[in-house]
Structure 1
Amino acid sequence: MSISFTADLAKWGDRPALVFCGQRTVTYRELGDRIMRQAQAFRGPRGLVAIEAELSEHAIVAYLAALAAGHAVAMQAPKNGATASWVDAFEPDFCFRRIDGRWRTEHLRQDGRAPHDQLAVMLSTSGSTGCGKAVRLSRENITANAASIADYLGLTAADRGCLILPLHYSYGLSVLNSHLAAGASLYIPGGSVLDAGFLDGLAESGSTNLAGVPYSYELLEKVGFRDRRFPHLRFMTVAGGRLGPDVIRLYNDHLGAQGAAFFAMYGQTEATARIAYMPPALLAGNEDRIGVAIPGGRLLIETENGAPIESDGLAGELVYRGPNVMMGYATSRDDLCRGAELTELRTGDLAMRHADGLFQIVGRMKRISKIAGLRIAHDVLEAALERRGIAAAVVGDDAGLHAFCTGNRDAEEVKRFLAQASGLTLAHLKATALAEMPRLASGKVDYNALNMAARQAAANGDDDSGGIEELFAQVFYPKRVKRSDSFVSLGGDSLRFVQLSMGLEKALGQVPDAWETLSIADLSVQEHCETATRRIGTDLLVRALAILLVVVHHETVWPIPGGSAAMVVLAGFSLARFQMGPLLAGDGWAILRPLAQVLVPYYLIVAAYAVAWGEVPWASVLLVGNFGLTLPETHGMVPYLYWFIEAYCQMMLVFVGLFAIPRFRRFVSARPFAAGMSLLLAALVARLALPLLWPIGNRQIFTLPWIFYLAVIGWCAAVAETAKQRLLLMVAGTGAFLFFGLYEGVWIGTQIKYILQIAVLAALIYLPRINVPRWAAQLILPLSAAGFHIYILHRFVPELLMLPLQPALPTPAFSFLSIFGGVALGLVAWLGQRQLLKTLAAWREREIRPLRVLNFAVLRSPLRPL
């Protein structure tokens, strides 16, 4: 069967279908035309279309077009998109997402196994990170559930729903489907409930209904929803979690006084969206119940063994039967070829049926602890605390329970309430206050995060180190971070990469591969692993060795240069690895902002020289001293030592400038390695032409054209994906290094410098991570993180701090102390800057941002233990 509402859109003619902020309207006729045009982009055999389900008309059109074209659709969370692991597992044929700021259709493959004929939609289960199992929904599931919802809500073509829920969430998608099935329209404000003007826009839109999760109602209270009148509003709905009876009563009374209705609903993604609803006429006095099955469905209560429970008032597992029960789960492309495997859904919820036929959820099958012979449902305890006026989420295992509460309550009081409700002793109970309850994108309480926090609190009770989210907050200060953020999504750069590697190594013991793509929540779940070795990125080892090589070379003038060249290679490598997203988006400021961590200490040094000389070294102030426009001897620039900082900043400007060109961004997005190799060719031409076009003698080695190709080689090393690409880059890089070292080089140091770069390139390409002893990692990571600080400060030790001691010390001793002292001075400066950022981040956490931190260290400090 087909999905009726996708085929019948045109029959609604010029009636509005989608309404946006500012009253811009897309009619059903226009929507149908756009769907047909977009469907042409999905031409081909039946396959799987992955859609970045942003709450926008583009994603809506693509979703409907993919269904109309006969494909199965996977709705993916915005920003996360179709992750590499997800793509590997499900092998989508098309991907519709934002590229270079524009929505585009990518043709990924057309030779995969065709999904089952009935498969229509794939959705991640609630709380899923997007890499786990997905729910398979059939055409019948979608059609039946949309029709059922429209039926019991009484939706007509005159209705207009306000859609604020994400489309990759079954509740949000059901709002879209049910309204389209009835020929109704949808108002999409395109922002948060907390945005200024949300209530004004809602009133002006003429919306007749508003759907929300429990967290949505918290936000509505914050913006004063009940202080306003919305004359067109005829009902509101809630699902996606348990809304407290008091809040339900509050909104039911408020809406009833205005002639409107309130629908409290219950559902699961596995049942497409809705399973039960409470008829508004029966809601008063039954605010703690889920009501009756939706039209076409049936609810039953069964024992753990599947035996039916016929008597009222007895608890058992809630079982649902209906045409909207999913086909089954999927973890791979092969699973998409299977037909329907279920005829009923065992919800996992403990429920009972009352004599009046209304059903009530009393707990969760899997949210049960068995302690001291007692079986304790966590949901029952939450309800008991709620009756005491305590908003709490309870987690635990068979060893104990932990309640996370919002609001100000006495420690012992909360634990006594838990003890009374559970029958346990205080030794089995813990409680912690949170400024705000952690939530998933759907608005549900993030129980996974709370469980992780409880486990950490139990296992690391004496650990006072900062947790992972606090670590991210410190490193990315002043940017605000969320648990869904990752190093890559936050726009991390090479400096932050090293700092976070250190912190994660300490917090997790073993830093997971590709950690930079994992969310903070995923990293927080990693268990501590005590091993004798640590697996670190090879680039961190290279960076540490490079800065040591710079310090030794500058002090001894031994013919072992190459440290600075390796650092340039690493700069390009890190830029491609960590900041490709902002570059492809044309977000230059995201690349330039992190330069502050380099420029602040640099300009302090420039200011010190200006004070000492009584003259301002303008070339250094303008970051052009490396171009040989003036000399340190004339005080027009600081010593040549600082050429690297100037060249590094110039390098970032060049990359930002290149990616400001839309055509170049599209080239890199489509063919990153080919674009990198083309840029390498241009950079090599510039390197060879520089001495001919700009004869400035030996000072040319400090200029950007002289070294830019090194950064491009590093860039290519990061984007080379296939064995052929790696080999091509290795051959090209080796050829360039041998030419510049052996043919052009006139000094043994030059030859050593370029030969070392061959080893650096090979390591980055073929040995991305390396196991080192733990003690070595504890040395390598700080050296790598403090590289810039060591570079700009190390010469102060022999040339300023130790200068009076030089006549009294043997040359080897003076050199050793200069090297050791230079490294130490840089480390101290780096630690000082790190501590400053940590203090600023902690201050803002206390004063500005509601705390969301859930690891143990933060539970002990900014969060108040009860």
Structure 2
Amino acid sequence: MTTLPDLLRGHALVEHLTRQGAHPALRQGKESVTYADLADRVSDVAEAYAGGRRLVLLTPRNDVASVVEYLGAMAAGQVVLMCAPASRDALVAAYDPDVVASGVAREWRREGSVHDLHPDLALLLSTSGSTGSPKLVRLSRDGLVANARAIAASLHVREDDLAALNLPLHYCYGLSVLHSHLLRGAALLLSEASVTDEDFWQQARDVTTLAGVPHTFDLLERGGFAERDLPRLRYLTQAGGRLAPERVRAWAELGRERGWDFVVMYGQTEATSRLSVLPPDRVLDAPTSIGLPIDEVTFTLAPADHPDADVGELVARGPGVMLGYAESPADLALGRTTHALHTGDLARRRDDGLWEIVGRRSRFAKVCGLRIDLDHVERSLAAEGFVTAAADGGDRVVLGVACEARAVDVAAVEAAATRVCGLAPTGVCVVTVPDLPRLANDKVDYRGVLAAVAVPAQRSSKPRMSPATAADIVGLYARLLRRPDARPTDSFVSLGGDSLSYVEVSLRLEALLGDLPAGWPHTPAAALADAPLARRRRGTLVETNVVMRALAILTIVATHANAFGLLGGAHLLIAIAGFNLARFQLTGASRPQRTRRILTSAARVAVPSALVIGVFSLVGLWAEGLTWRQVLLVNGLTSASWSEPGWYFWFIEALVHTLVLLALFLSIPRVDALERARPFAFPMGLVAVAMLTRYDVINVPGDAEHRAHVIFWLFALGWAAARAGSTRQRLLVSVVTVVTMVGAFPQWERDAYVALGMLALVWVPRVRVPRAVAGVAGVLAAASLWIYLTHWQVYPHLEGSWPWLALALSLLVGVVLSGAATRLERLVLRR
């Protein structure tokens, strides 16, 4: 067994990692990293940070690169602010970090630091339930080390352990799993897959430990965990919220049958992580208990307004207790301001010496003059078989009940709640939701419960952040994405948003919120509503890919109508499609979800295309040459040379074929795992393979530049552009773009146009344009598919005499039909 007094302190960290040698440290997909290799990588990152202490905001994923970035920054003595993706923009604005990093990118915002950073300060974490709030927990290196050591001792972490790290690294519980296992030289399996995903269990079959919050155990039950064969599993740990006693007992009994332990733990972000452990041999006798304090932690009770004399507010003391809160950059200079942590939890010490939480001091509502203990309401209803989330709705108690897994008898819940609360029926509101809304750390999002019924939460002293509420944004998503089940915890991407719906949603959101923050597609609706109100400036920010889509369709139609000539728009659209695939279909989804998303996007292009081509061909609106091949989008597979109108729709065919084949390719578990492990290298590898057809190593007879497998390199380059997170990666994409575009087409202007469009995607994420221009660009981009499909029937009648009128009418017809198709689709789905 290896111990380390100064884990996370300078070179001692690298030395500790080095001493573990060839022992496995991290595993992600097919990648396995030894401790020696990890030491080298951490040392390289630490060297990059050398030269002084800085405030580093890190948005980690559960991957090797993020762990290396975090450990390297710690080894270099930096102060790391761990950040959930949804909180990134708000925290950047509030704390002005010197460096903004992820596992794949590092943005140096200045040479040194503008902050006065206290010598003891090492880590900043968001407080539980404060997604997007500027209030942070200040933690010291000594506290992190002491907590990791105590947890490792309490759980008897061994060198031969393999812990599944599926909790987010920006969450204190997930981070403590990392710390405690690295301390003992154990290995960690890094994964962002859900425990309901079979891909996760294919990788996790040999894990020895698994950590979860209450929601994790809900998912485990749904996923048939009890039947899984996990021969090396030693124990499950549960923290991050209260698990009902009957479920604690059920999990403990299952563990006893299957040969593993169920360990209940209790902790808070303000105490670095976990504070107590319930010994596994006492779980069945004391399923309501949080156990005993870990090493170097003591519990006492402070007086509280509670009818039971033996109940008080739990107060924790120990080295892991935070230095204090930070609410502004000036607070980063403070030393210790908190010596005892008043947890806000009401607790008692039992006769057997174990500690027990009985409620939350701040979890009270006052309705009709009665003081309602919301935790007591939840526990009482759970005892009657109703799993609810009780929130303070001001003049009533709001109860959220999940209805996705089973039907809910609302009347029965209301009757039980009014009896438990001692209120009239008007004092209780029951709202059913598919699943209870969750925060980033998987705890219940009570604000989300309130938003589900548009009940205003208690007024805060903080100024209004956004002109829109979470309910406004959820309603917008429900309408535009046709997702009536949308919740405040959902984002545009998680609801299945894609490149076709992106433009309209972004424009509508901008009308609500002002300039949208970077990364808004992945930000939950509640966090968007809580984001700082954007300062209104002249013009508006529009994402470059929207502008390029509008420009591409404009130049396509203008060239065909003889208004002006600039070829290459359709090839640029292929690259943009790859760019958007990475941003929407491949982000934040399991393997089956990815497959469904990609195939759905392909269908949203293929179905209207087949219908339009079929209708026009049947009514004779096209000359001879339009056959079933075009209707079924297989002309490129059955015809060798260009002919009109047979090849008019090559772009549609190429895009649909590419999406379908990629969906099948990425549905292979090993391919999916490789893409997740190497998100940038994977599409660049596809670019390299595509060079075989780009440079005729594999010869393609006939009209090569209009076939999917020949122009696939453009799609893959767009994909890589979206994944490029560092300057080096963006430079690589840029160089490959410029080199491969030279001579790609017979006209150099065409080469230049596509190359410049690609470079804009890589280097200019957003551009500020006049609002009128933004509106026009948004409309054209959103209608680009219908403009492309229908312009063939408009411009030929006017191109000889009135080319500009031909252009204008072609665009207008496509926009009008696009709007009509969207309204029809919504009407059909509503019925």
| TM-score for both structures, normalised by structure 1 | 0.67
State the secondary structure of the residue aligned to 2:216: helix
- Find the counterpart in structure 2 of residue 67 from structure 1: 74
- Which residue in 2 is equivalent to 1:854? none
Q: Distance in 2 between matches of 1:243 and 1:670?
A: 47
> Could you tell me whether the CA contact under 8 Å between 2:372 and 2:421 is conserved in 1?
yes
Measure how far apart 1:429 and its partner are: 1.6
Does the Cα contact within 8 Å between 1:290 and 1:361 map onto a contact in 2? yes
Counterpart position of 2:183: 181
Q: Is the 8 A contact 2:439 2:445 kept in 1?
A: yes
CA change 1:636–1:222 in 2 (3 A) is closer
Question: What's the counterpart of residue 517 of structure 1?
Answer: 520
Per-residue Cα deviation, 1:225-263 (whole angstroms, up to 9, x for no partner): 334575654443210111111111112233345675432
CA displacement at 1:566 relative to structure 2: 14
- Distance verdict in 2 for CA 1:464–1:565, change over 3 Å: same
Specify every segment of 5 or more residues in structure 2 that has no aligned partner in the other structure, as ranges. Answer: 459-467, 588-593, 656-702, 798-803
Structure 1 position 417, deviation (Å): 0.7
Name the counterpart of 1:286: 286
Contact 1:164/1:190 (<8 A) preserved: yes
Tell whether the 8 Å contact from 2:450 to 2:457 is kept in structure 1 after alignment.
Answer: no
Matching of residue 98 in structure 1 with residue 99 in structure 2: no
CA distance in 1, matches of 2:737, 2:18: 53
State whether structure 2 residue 275 is matched by structure 1 residue 275. Answer: yes
Kept after mapping to 2: 8 A contact 1:313/1:353: no
Residue number among 355, 359, 366 corresponding to 2:362 in the alignment: 366
Match for 1:47: what amino acid? R
Matched pairs, number: 741
Aligned residue number for residue 295 of structure 1: 295
After TM superposition, give the deviation of residue 445 of structure 1 in Å: 2.0
Task: Give the C-alpha shift of residue 215 in structure 1.
Answer: 2.0
Q: Which residue of 2 aligns with 1:499?
A: 504
SS of the residue corresponding to residue 398 of structure 1 reads coil
What is the alpha-carbon distance in structure 1 between the residues aligned to residue 274 and residue 251 of structure 2? 21
Between the aligned partners of 2:187 and 2:27, the Cα distance in structure 1 is: 11
Partner Cα distance (2:598, 2:781) in 1: 20
1:615 aligns with 2:625: yes
Q: Paired residue for 1:2, among 2, 6, 18?
A: 6
Aligned to 2:448: 449
Answer whether contact 1:395 1:450 (CA < 8 A) is retained: yes
Distance 1:765 1:525 in 2: 21
- Deviation for aligned residue 1:324: 0.8
Among 360, 382, 391, the alignment partner of 1:386 is: 382
> Distance between the aligned counterparts of 1:769 and 1:220, measured in 2?
49
For residue 115 of structure 1, what is the aligned residue in structure 2? 117
Q: Which amino acid in the other structure matches residue 112 of structure 2? A: D
Find the counterpart in structure 2 of residue 245 from structure 1. Answer: 245
Distance in 2 of aligned mates of 1:188 and 1:272: 21
Give the C-alpha shift of residue 287 in structure 1: 1.8
Q: Which residue of 2 aligns with 1:656?
A: 714
The residue type equivalent to 2:504 in the other structure is Q
CA distance in 1, matches of 2:228, 2:557: 71
Counterpart contact for 2:556–2:566, Cα < 8 Å: no
Helix, strand or coil: the match of 2:362? Answer: coil
Partner of 1:420: helix, strand, or coil? helix
Q: Which deviations, in whole Å up to 9, do the C-alpha atoms of 1:467-509 show, x marking residues without a partner?
A: 24434644999xx99945446997853x43332146547xx85
**1:610-654 CA deviation, whole Å, 9 max, x = no partner?**
553443379997899xxxx9786xx666699x99x9999999958
Choose which of 165, 168, 177 in structure 2 pairs with 1:166: 168
Matched, 1:139 2:155: no
TM-score under structure 2 normalisation?
A: 0.70
Query: Alpha carbons of 1:162 and 1:468: their partners in 2 closer, same or farther (altered >3 Å)?
Result: same
For the residue of structure 2 that corresponds to 1:414, the secondary structure is helix
Q: CA offsets per residue over residues 789-821 of structure 1, 9 Å max, x none?
A: 356547868999xxxxxxxxxxxxxx99x9999
Helix, strand or coil for the counterpart of 1:98?
Answer: coil
Q: Is the 8 A contact 2:226 2:254 kept in 1?
A: yes
Task: Evaluate the alpha carbon distance shift between residue 484 and residue 114 of structure 1 in structure 2; reply closer, same or farther with a 3 A threshold.
Answer: farther
Contact 1:199 1:225 (C-alpha < 8 Å) held by counterparts: no
Alignment of 1:734-753 (within 5 A): none
1:237–1:263: 8 Å Cα contact kept in structure 2? yes
Alignment match, 1:827: 816
Matches within 5 A, 1:247-262: 247-256=247-256, 261-262=261-262
Q: 1:395 aligns with which of 391, 409, 417?
A: 391
Q: CA RMSD in A?
A: 6.0
Deviation at 1:97, TM superposition (A): 1.6
Bigger radius of gyration: 1
2:92 match: 86
Distance 1:476 1:414 in 2: 23
Q: Cα gap change, 1:659/1:430 in structure 2, threshold over 3 Å: closer, same or farther?
A: same
What CA distance in whole angstroms lies between the structure 1 residues aligned with 2:37 and 2:555? 64
The equivalent residue for 1:211 is: 211
The residue that corresponds to 1:39 in the other structure is 46
Alignment of 1:428-577 (within 5 A): 428-455=427-454, 467-471=475-479, 473-474=481-482, 483=489, 485-486=491-492, 492-493=498-499, 495-501=500-506, 504=509, 509=512, 513-514=516-517, 517=520, 519=522, 521-522=524-525, 526=529
Q: Tell me the alpha carbon deviations over residues 128-180 of structure 1, each in whole angstroms, 9 at most, x when there is no partner.
A: 44574332211111011112223333445465544332322211221222233
Q: 1:660/1:392 Cα in 2 relative to 1: closer, same or farther (>3 Å)?
A: closer
- Whole-angstrom distance in 2 between the partners of 1:351 and 1:312: 10
Question: Cα offset for 1:274?
Answer: 1.2
SS of aligned partner of 1:319: strand
Amino acid at match of 1:470: A
**In the alignment, which of 180, 193, 196 is matched to residue 194 of structure 1?**
196
Amino-acid identity (%) = 28
Shift in Å at residue 660 of structure 1?
7.2
How many angstroms apart in 2 are the aligned matches of 1:29 and 1:550?
A: 55
2:314 matched residue in structure 1: 318
Is the CA contact 1:47–1:110 (under 8 Å) kept in the aligned structure 2? no
Counterpart amino acid of residue 70 in structure 1: G
Opposite residue 56 of structure 1, the aligned amino acid is: D
Within 5 Å, which residues of 2 pair with 1:586-665?
Answer: 597=604, 600-602=607-609, 604-608=611-615, 610-611=617-618, 612=620, 613-616=623-626, 653=711, 656=714, 659=717
8 Å Cα contact 2:393-2:450 kept in structure 1: no
The whole-number CA distance in structure 2 between the counterparts of 1:374 and 1:563 is 75
Measured at CA, do residues 509 and 30 of structure 1 come closer, stay the same or move farther in structure 2, by a change above 3 Å? closer
CA 1:591 to 1:109, structure 2 compared with 1: closer, same or farther past 3 Å? farther
The answer as to 2:769 corresponding to 1:767 is yes
Q: Distance in 1 between matches of 2:647 and 2:202?
A: 57
Give, in whole Å, the separation in 1 of the partners of 2:817 and 2:190. 52
- Contact 2:206–2:231 (Cα < 8 Å) also in 1: no
In the TM superposition, what is the alpha-carbon distance from 1:580 to its structure 2 partner?
Answer: 8.2
Deviation (angstroms), 1:370: 1.0
Amino acid at match of 2:302: E
Distance in 1 (CA, whole Å) between partners of 2:61 and 2:300 is 36
Structure 1: distance between partners of 2:375 and 2:506:
38
> What per-residue deviation string (whole Å, max 9, x for no partner) do you get for residues 340-398 of structure 1?
22112222333344455443333333332211111112211111110101111112322
| Residues 73/783 of structure 1: CA separation in 2 closer, same or farther (3 Å cut) | closer
Once residues 236 and 27 of structure 2 are traced to their aligned partners in structure 1, the CA distance between those partners, rounded to angstroms, is 20
Conserved in 2, the CA contact under 8 Å of 1:270 and 1:325? yes
1:424 corresponds in structure 2 to 423
Q: Does 1:341 align with 2:337?
A: yes
Tell me if the contact between 1:370 and 1:398 (Cα under 8 Å) persists in the aligned partners. yes
